[in-house]
Amino acid sequence: MGAPKTSPKAAPKTEESTTLESLFDLDSKANDISGATLLSPTSSEFAKDELISKISSCTRVFTFTDPAESPSQQDLKRCRLAWILSAIRSTKKLLDDRVLASLISMLSANLFRQLPLPSLPSLPSDFLDNDCLAMVLAPSWPHLHIVYDILGALVTHAKPKSLPGHIDHAFLLNLLGLFQSEDPRERDRLKNVYHQLYSKLTDERSFMRRSMSNVFLRFASDAERHSGIGELLEIWGSIINGFAVPLKEEHRVFLARVLVPLHKSKWMPSYYQQLFYCVSQFVQKEPELGGVVLRGILRYWPVTNCHKEVLIIGELEDLVESLCPSEFEKLAVPLCSQIAKCLSSCNSQVAERALYVWNNEQFVRMASRCMEKILPAIVQGIEKNLSWHWSKSVQELTMSVKTMLEEMEPELYSKCLQELAHRESVAEQEEIKRKVRWERLERAAANNNCSNLQIVHVSPNNRSNPHTSSLLASRARRVIAPAFHSSRNFGYGESKLFK
């Protein structure tokens, strides 16, 4: 008997990753494979007529969701798109006006489409997990990513003078509308292509900046989600980096009226890094603009979004380092009052982040120049934390900040404590007086009620009767009026009721 044959074990099935990094890697590998499988076209294959013919055949759009679509036709179009991309990259002589017109028509047919509604409108696509991310990816990406590569190659290899005749305002606006796509891969390609167009189309730069500003303004006013704000801010970051000093007035207006209001959106955490980079670029070029930004941030301070508060406190800390002392003195009171509110916040993350601001040597150095103005508010927040805050770590941080401030200004801190104790004592006395007055008012109303009010029975059927309503109202006035007239001067010692 021979040895029993063992059946080969099936290879373990690996799950396909849907993380952003793996998806971008798959795109690059697909590009390498498609480029490697292409045969080098002969000179006849590079003829303009044949190129235009292949471009025209690619105007048919496949959705990749219709069962009636042929997979072989989809593969054929993908091969033709890859062939067109290789042809554009190989030679510049083919890109005359006739070929450019055909290319722009094909690109418009494939790119400019109706985007699907947001699958998860309450959550930014940047915060989706792997399972949710698969829901927002464009199914037609096997064709779209090559089309974007063709557009990028066209912008790179075409003559600068020939592009303005074919890429008009409508084309640029349609590209801008695609930034609302939920697919992060598409937004990344769009970002690169749009920035390339901004570099090449020098005459259209003002229009492109104005169009992007309109997107920001619409987003800030409508409070609706826009997936591409972060990518548009990345483009703006490189644009701002190239601004000459001194800045033009239109650029200062853009900072104050467009960038700063973006802080009030509830979606700000999804594009915070890009927004902060743009703002910091402005402040580095002209430090006096830091005051404009700080005033705007204080105006749009979040009330119920703790995550935003933590981010904005960090931004304030960085901006203070770039302020000149005279500008800081103007903003010291509102700025430190807001930080004092935050350090006594019920949310431990907000409180800890506000307390960590006092570890910043530059901030403490600036604050020490106007301690008399800002310390009363800070002392009130510190003592409030030590008295009742639930977080032990917050109390420990608060105690370390208190120790530091007492060492810096012992007499001033003691004076602020005395003033705080006096204010609390006055407030307690006022509260006691208020309670006594309300008790006397309630007794007076009860006495008048017993002497003047006659019990009136109203059946459920007569409650809507106008005559019954007027009768009840007149009797209520006879009861309430004496109590009101006898107590309207309460607190001045003139009413017999309170003597």
Q: String of b and e for 64-93 (b: at least 16 CB within 10 Å)?
A: eeeeeeeeeebeebbebbbbbbbbbeeeee
The average pLDDT across 138-152 equals 92
User: What pLDDT score does 262 carry?
Assistant: 95
DSSP assignment of 425-468 equals: HHHHHHHHHHHHHHHHHHHHHHHHHHHHPPP----GGGTT-HHH
Distance between CA 132 and CA 1 in Å, rounded?
A: 56
User: Can you give the pLDDT at residue 132?
Assistant: 52
Distance of alpha carbon 376 from the chain centroid: 33
Say which range, 16-25, 54-63, 116-125, 148-157, has the weakest mean pLDDT: 16-25
Mean pLDDT of the residues in the chain: 82
Q: What is the pLDDT of residues 65-109, one digit of tens each?
A: 888 888 899 999 999 999 999 988 887 777 888 889 999 999 999
CA distance 90 to 93: 9
Q: How confident is the model at residue 251 (pLDDT cuts 50, 70, 90)?
A: very high
| Cβ partners under 8 Å of residue 315, min gap 6 | 276, 279, 297
Q: Write down the pLDDT at residue 459.
A: 55
10: Cβ contacts below 8 Å, ≥ 6 apart = none
In the chain, where the domains are located: 287-408, 425-498
- Going by C-beta distance under 8 Å and a sequence separation of 6 or more, which residues neighbour residue 413? 375, 379, 405, 406
Rounded to a whole number of angstroms, the distance between the first and last alpha carbons of the chain is: 120
Distance (Å) of CA 447 to CA 330, 395, 434, 474: 57, 50, 20, 18
Highest average pLDDT, of 26-40, 76-90, 457-471, comes from 76-90
Identify the three-state secondary structure at position 18. Answer: coil
Q: How confident is the model at residue 324 (pLDDT cuts 50, 70, 90)?
A: confident
Give me 363's structure tokens.
């901030």
* Residue 359: half-sphere exposure toward Cβ, Cα within 13 Å: 9
Mean pLDDT of 276-287: 94
* pLDDT higher than 70, residue 53: yes
User: What's CA 101's distance to the chain center, in Å?
Assistant: 39
Contact partners, residue 121, CB within 8 Å, separation at least 6:
225
> Residue 19 above 70 pLDDT?
no
pLDDT at 7: 41
**Quick one: pLDDT at residue 487?**
46
Helix, strand or coil, per DSSP, at residue 487: helix
- What φ, ψ does residue 441 adopt, rounded to 5°? -65, -40
- The model's pLDDT over 161-187, given as tens digits with 9 standing for 90+, comes to 888 889 999 999 999 999 999 899 999
pLDDT single digits (tens) 375-432: 999 999 999 999 999 999 999 999 999 999 999 999 999 999 999 889 988 999 999 9
Q: Tell me what the mean pLDDT of segment 53-57 comes to.
A: 92
- pLDDT, position 5: 41
Low-confidence winner among 205-209, 327-331, 356-360 (lowest mean pLDDT): 327-331
Query: Around Cβ 5, how many Cβ atoms within 10 Å?
Result: 6
Query: Angle at CA 28, nearest 5°, toward 26 and 29?
Result: 65
Question: What does the pLDDT read at residue 378?
Answer: 93
Neighbours of 353 (CB within 10 A): 22
Residue 494 has pLDDT above 70, yes or no: no
Pair of tokens at residue 69: 């679509």
- Cβ-based neighbours of 445, under 8 Å, separated by 6 or more: 479, 480, 483
pLDDT of 357-367, one tens digit each?
999 998 998 88
CB 379 within 8 Å of CB 420: yes
- pLDDT over 50 (residue 36): no
Sign of CA dihedral 489, 490, 492, 498: positive
Residue 39's identity, in one-letter code, is L
Instruction: Using the predicted structure, report yes or no on whether residue 484 has a pLDDT greater than 60.
Output: no
Q: Is the pLDDT of residue 483 over 80?
A: no
Region of poorest pLDDT, from 17-26, 29-38, 143-152, 175-184: 29-38
| Overall average pLDDT of the 469-481 stretch | 54
